[in-house]
Chains A and B, each alone.
Chain A
Amino acid sequence: MIEIVDQHTTVGETFMDGSDELTAELLADMLSGCRHTARFISTDARNDAGEWPVKSVKQLQEVIRPLEGAVEGWIAVNPYFLEAALEAIELGVRRFGMKSVGEMIQYMEDWVTDEYMVLPIVQLAGDLDVPINFHAGEALHVEGVMHLAESYPRTRFIMAHFGGRAWRMAWRLVKDAKLPNLYVEINGSPTPELAAERIAAAIDAAGVDRLVLGTDFRLAPGARYEHGNRLLDALEYVKLKDTDIERICSLNAREVFKLS
């Protein structure tokens, strides 16, 4: 059975505040009906977690530690709280072995993707050798991610949502730049036909080796993970080779996040 690595998921509030327990059984329940196995890279779902990132990272570690690698940590930070953000990244990566920084959500927190206060976070992600995921849902976000990826060649970037509504612009710019440190996030929603057009564009822009799956799936009691099946449907619709499908589903993520 093929493995899916979804590198853009969140751990729901009730797990984070301890009112529910995220167990292997609950995780298996979320994955029932899947025609694949799955590993998640997951961050604190609470919107304000970036305002107290150290506490968030510690709580996240407590939630995911018992799952023994089925859910890996992803560090939520907000550049307005820079000192705490840098401390949380150091703690998360060095002490807890967390795999990534982000999602950097400029549109919710009201900052500009490539503004000055963001740079130390980008620098630290590169220094600690973990990727950083930036929300990219419109043209300005795409432009900002491109600027950062050009400017920080040692930092690995993931452009979330492949630009969202600005995906055609992302397609052109990513293809033009051919940056070895830039990865593009895709998913299989909402239908294979609609997803297929974007996936084909992402492959043309970045190459099969630079695509990773990200869905915004929230691990929550009663949630069902349907994104993996949808991705497989879309990849089959595009008629990719099995080796390319495996690369997009998990091998690329294993490499970029240095998963064991």
Chain B
Amino acid sequence: MKEEIRRAIERLSGFDRDHSAEAVEAAKAVGALGVEALCAALDTPEALNVPRARHALKDEIARRDPAVVAPALLRALAHKDWRPNQVACDVINLMQEAMTPALIDNLETERQPNGRINTMLILRRMGASAAAPSLVKLACEDSVAEVRATAVEALGYLGVAQAADAVVVALDDTSPAVRLKAVKAAGWLRMCDAAEGVVAFARSADTEGRAAAVYALDRIGDVRATPFVVDCLEDPDPYVRWSAVVALRRLWKEGCETPLEKALEDTEETVAAAALETLCIAAPTKARNRLAAAMEDPRPALRRTAGFYSRTVGTG
């Protein structure tokens, strides 16, 4: 590193947030020394201590040719320290599409798992659906579970059709974290093909997993999952029971009335009120007979829900 660049970075590293104005000037001085100096600063977490100076460096870097600064930005994404990660993300966010090809290539070539993960996070934020083939590959083949989980999640958020096969594969992954992300992705992608796998996952999952699975089945909307969701009305966890009650609005079919009416007596007011709302939405005729009693219920959420629906569906 040239001596003048080393000195400029050392000066920038010496400021704390109580000396923001001086730090910003020092950051601009680094920028005045050119791309090499900016890239060196990006490799030096101590030079990125002061928020306003980080913003100044970000603006300096974002003005440069993306092709020239891309290697340093990708290196910063893989850095173990959060400060280079953050500045790189902010710069890439400004450069947008100009960086997309380099980021996608980086998914294939980056050796550090956190580099691959951070690259996926920024591609996800950019909505870069062109990354889907590389994400599918990582979701199915990467040796690190956290990388596979991030890839599956990114595919769900991006909403791309190519994701479907990878999500089905991920539902059988050896890692519970990957399987949970696959369940959520199946919901976001409304994948009917995945419904069976989601139910299988839920049968051995913890509370968070069961609730996520029921919500995914709700979004998928395949009534073949309804019997499982009805079973979840008896789940020991109230969030799972609430999720099941809500899911039945979309997954309603004949035979749901009786278990749902039982849910009206749930010990949790939140679950019981949601059950009444589901009954009013999915089976209004049946609900009419329940509304008058619910309007006298000691639980305020039930009374208010009943009050609202008595105006729309009437009382029996």
Contacts and interface: CB of A to CB of B under 8 A. Distances in A.
Interface of A: 115-116, 119-120, 123-124, 127, 139, 147, 150-151, 153-154, 165-166, 168-169, 171-173, 176
B311 to A, nearest CB: 12
15 contacts: A116-B242, A116-B270, A120-B270, A127-B301, A127-B305, A127-B308, A139-B124, A139-B157, A147-B215, A150-B246, A154-B308, A168-B127, A169-B157, A172-B157, A172-B158
A2 to B, nearest CB: 31
Nearest to A128: B304
Given A150-B246, A172-B159, 11 more contacts: A120-B269, A120-B301, A127-B300, A127-B308, A147-B215, A165-B93, A166-B125, A168-B125, A168-B126, A172-B127, A176-B159
B304 A127 contact: yes
A168 B300 CA distance: 39
B115 interface: no
A8 to B, nearest CB: 22
Interface size grouping (class) on chain B: 20 to 34
Chain B binding surface SS class: helix
Contacts of A168: 125-127
Contacts of B277: 153-154
Interface string B182-226: 000000100000000000000000000000000100100000000
Contacts of A176: 159
Given A127-B304, A176-B159, A119 B242 contact: yes
Nearest to A90: B300
Contacts of A171: 127
Contacts of B238: 116
B113 to A, nearest CB: 20
Contacts of B107: none
B239 interface: yes
Interface in B269-291: 269-270, 273-274, 277, 281
Contact of B239 (A116, A123, A139, A165): A116
Nearest to A165: B125
Contacts of B127: 168-169, 171-172
- Main SS at interface, chain A: helix
Contacts, number: 48
Contacts of B304: 127
Contacts of A172: 127, 157-159
A169 B124 contact: yes
Contacts of A150: 218, 246
Interface string B87-100: 00000010000000
Contacts of B246: 150-151
Contacts of B124: 139, 169
Contacts of A124: 301
Nearest to A122: B270
A123 B300 CA distance: 10
A124 B273 CA distance: 11
B301 A123 contact: yes
For B238, B270, B308, the residue with the greatest tally of chain A CB atoms inside 10 Å of its CB is B270
B97 to A, nearest CB: 12
A169 B242 contact: no
Nearest to B281: A153
Contacts of B215: 147
Interface string B122-157: 001111000000000000000000000000000001
A151 B273 CA distance: 12
A178 to B, nearest CB: 14
Interface in B250-298: 269-270, 273-274, 277, 281
Contact of B273 (A123, A147, A166, A173): A123
